[in-house]
Amino acid sequence: MRLIESSITTPKIAELFSDRSILEAMLAFEVGLARAEAGLEVIPLPAARAIEKAASPKLFEENTLAADSLRSATVSIPFVKALTEQVKQIDPTAAGFVHWGATSQDVADTAIILVLQKSRDILEADLTRVDRALSQLSERHAGTVMLGRTLLQAALPTTFGLKVAGWLGAIRRNHARLDAAFEESVILQFGGAAGTLASLGDQGVAVGKALAAELGVGYADAPWHTHRDRLAALMCALGVMAGSLGKMARDISLLSQNEIAEAAEPTAEGRGGSSAMPHKQNPVGCTLALSAAYRVPGLVSTFLSSMVQEHERAIGGWQSEWATISAIVQATSLAATSMAEVAEGLTINAARMRENIDASHGTIFAERATILLAKNLSREAARKIVEQAVKESAGSNRDFVTVLGEMPEVRKVLDPPTLNDLRVPENYLGAAEEFRRTLLNSSAAHERTRDHAERKH
């Protein structure tokens, strides 16, 4: 991982998109193709064995392949040439069967599909961590009352458990979309020169299916050289996931502000410090997730722009995708890893949440007071009384309910116990707990569905 990439990826996902990993994926395609064709007697079995023997990554120079790709507009061409030379040293006759019936885009597309297949496992592991941590956090704070905030201002009371369930619900919905997009996208690309596999005669489909089985990927209904909709849907799903992780990071970073102090990221040696201010504890996990969430939408847009490709094989479209796909997957994976760490170690200050409610001097209960008064007065009269009480409370720094209770028109319709009850935030949570449970149960239902699908697979 390079210094310039140090805050936009993780070592694990960066290695997956490394030169060696891409080379291994391209070699896997060629070996799988040779095996499939030998099994169907399209090429001699000794040729397939020679190709497999020559397909050792250590025999190839990634820097040379990269440099040569600038003269061919794709790494596949110098790669196939280099592989052919390696096979020739083992069996000159077998060299003539390298890449038999395939085209350069078949290698490139299938290689990135194989890498995406592996990236799915990494994303899955981190998203599962986020899921588990948020579920436990929501349950633990089901009754932890806090300020709801709208337009960054104090609104009505809510629960931290519901806020967490909201994060979880979005991430789980996106997880379902991501699962579906991966299932559609992890498919073989094998169409030959113009998408007809004409060079393989009546064996084209059989070879394609055998190759897909060799590589452990799906088989498409037809080659998709210029139809990038499946990959586009996957990139969009990754973009939405990055956005949802970013929303969670935004909320937590705001709750972590010193003036709010309701939440704090986990601490560790070297984590969150400042180069100039020793007192600071920066929310680094949220920072990395937000950085990813900022970058990904533009990258998704770039991929969508490359979908308009010409005829059966395109110029410039698919050639641009590797870097874009790599950046989107790595950024989203970084966001998932970062928020998994945050969720697992998040510290919640329930006392501070209560203090921030109290700091409103009861004005957050103005809506409830209006509703109670409107049962005996007109709605307009009730609103004017409450507005007056709010204004006086703010001006005198006195408790809103106390000010309200001193007003003669209020005392006529609301008794002291009812007024005192106004101060209890737990009594004005509406359906918060029902919504929280529904979100968690919906997530659990998805979990069971996905587990069943994985076991079946």
Q: Which residues are catalytic?
A: 274, 313
Q: 145 has which bridge partners?
A: 159
Find the largest Cα–Cα distance for the chain. Answer: 104
Strand pairing partners for 271?
A: none
DSSP 3-state assignment of 402? helix
Of 278, 263, 275, nearest to 342 (Cα)? 263
Sign of the alpha-carbon torsion through 228, 72, 301, 310: negative
Q: What is the DSSP letter of 258?
A: T
* Cβ(189)–Cβ(106) below 8 Å: yes
**Would you state the structure tokens that stand for residue 146, as one six-digit string?**
């806090």
Beta strands in 256-305 (DSSP E): 263-264
Question: Considering only CA atoms, which of 191, 208, 402, 220 is closest in space to residue 312?
Answer: 191
CA-CA-CA-CA torsion sign (134, 135, 137, 142): positive
User: How far apart (Å, rounded) are the C-alpha atoms in residues 133 and 168?
Assistant: 9
Structure tokens at 271: 């984590």
Q: Which two tokens stand for residue 3?
A: 């210094």
Q: How big is the chain, counted in residues?
A: 457
Q: How many CA atoms lie within 13 A of 205 on its CB side?
A: 4
Rg (CA), the chain: 30
